[in-house]
Amino acid sequence: MSIPFWRNRDRYYRMLGSKCQKCGKEFFPSVLVCRSCHSTDVKDFEMPQSGKLLSYTLQKESISGFEDQEPMVFGLVELDNGVRVVAQIVDTPYEALKMGTKVRTVFRKVRTDGESGQIYYGYKFAPVRVTSH
Ligand SMILES: [Zn+2]
Q: Please state the domain count of the chain.
A: 2
Q: What is the pTM of this model?
A: 0.79
User: Is the pLDDT confidence value at 4 over 90?
Assistant: no
pLDDT tens for 80-117 read 999 999 999 999 999 999 999 999 999 888 777 778 87
Same domain, 86 and 122: yes
Position with higher pLDDT, 16 vs 70: 16
> Around 1, how many Cα atoms within 13 Å sit in the side-chain half-sphere?
6
Cα 23 to Cα 118: distance, rounded to the nearest angstrom: 40
Average confidence (pLDDT) over 72-86? 95
pLDDT confidence of 75, banded at 50, 70, 90?
A: very high
Closest CA to 79 of 45, 108, 54: 54
Same domain, 62 and 116: yes
Instruction: Say how many Å lie between the CA of residue 79 and the centre of ligand 1.
Output: 19
Q: What is the CATH number of the domain that holds 58?
A: 2.40.50
Residue burial 24-44, b: 16+ Cβ < 10 Å; e: rest: ebbbbebbeebeeeeeeebee
pLDDT confidence of 68, banded at 50, 70, 90?
A: confident
Same domain, 52 and 117: yes
Whether 133 is in a domain gets the answer: no
Range of 12's domain?
A: 1-47
Among 13-17, 34-38, 88-92, the least confident range: 13-17
Instruction: Say how many Å lie between the CA of residue 37 and the centre of ligand 1.
Output: 4
Amino acid at 4: P
Same domain, 4 and 17: yes
Instruction: Say how many Å lie between the CA of residue 88 and the centre of ligand 1.
Output: 29
Instruction: Say how many Å lie between the CA of residue 94 and the centre of ligand 1.
Output: 37
Same domain, 55 and 84: yes
Whether 132 is in a domain gets the answer: no
Instruction: Say how many Å lie between the CA of residue 45 and the centre of ligand 1.
Output: 13
Decide which of 15, 30, 47 is a domain's last residue. 47
Position with higher pLDDT, 132 vs 16: 16
Cα 111 to Cα 122: distance, rounded to the nearest angstrom: 9
pLDDT of residue 120: 76
